[in-house]
Amino acid sequence: TGDSNAGLRNTGDRNTGDNNTGDHNTGNYNTGFFNTITPPIMMFNKPTKIKREDIIFPKFLYFSLTEWVTKEDATKEEKRKYKKELKTCGGFLKRLDYKTAFRIAWNKAPYEEHKMLLDLPNWDNEVFKEISGIDAEKKIEEERVKNQC
C-alpha cells in the first residue's frame, strides 16, 4: 500500500525494506519515517530486545479472515442467500470476524502450538485474551489435564 515501495508488505511510501509502516524506511519492520535499522519489536504492549526474525510464532497465528463454504456445508440461510454462487461456483467465500477466525485457527491447532504462546517475549494472557477472545492459559491448562487422563 502506498507509492514507490521496493520491499514487501509495506504501508506508506518509498520504503525499500519489508513490513514497514511509514515513509522512507530501508530497514525491516519499522514504524515511522527515515529508518535504516531493523528495530526490536513490541510484544504484548511492551518493548523487547528481540528482532522479529528471531521469534518463532505458532503457525496457527497466521489465519485467514475468509473461508470457502461448499454447497454441502452451507446452512439453509446461506443456501438461500448465496444461491447463485453455490450454483455457479459450488460454494462461496465467507467473511469471518477477527475473533471467530482466531478461534477457528486455535481449535485446529495442536496442543504443542498452543503451549508455544507461553514462550513468546513479554507473554501476557490478558492482552492475548483481549485480542483473540481466548483465555489461552486456561485452555492450555485444560488441555494439559485432559492429556494426562
Q: How confident is the model at residue 139 (pLDDT cuts 50, 70, 90)?
A: very high
Q: Are 114 and 92 in contact (CB under 8 A)?
A: no
**Confidence at residue 23, expressed as pLDDT on a 0 to 100 scale:** 73
Phi, psi of 53 (to 5 degrees): -70, -10
Question: How many residues comprise the chain?
Answer: 149
- The pLDDT assigned to 32 comes to 75
Among residues 42, 2, 55, 39, which one has the least CA distance to residue 16?
2
Mean pLDDT to the nearest integer, 127-143: 96
In tens, the pLDDT along 36-70 reads: 887 888 899 999 999 888 999 999 999 999 999 99
In whole angstroms, give the CA distance from residue 82 to residue 102: 24
The cell numbers describing 115, all together, are 503451549
* Cell (9 digits) for 68: 470457502
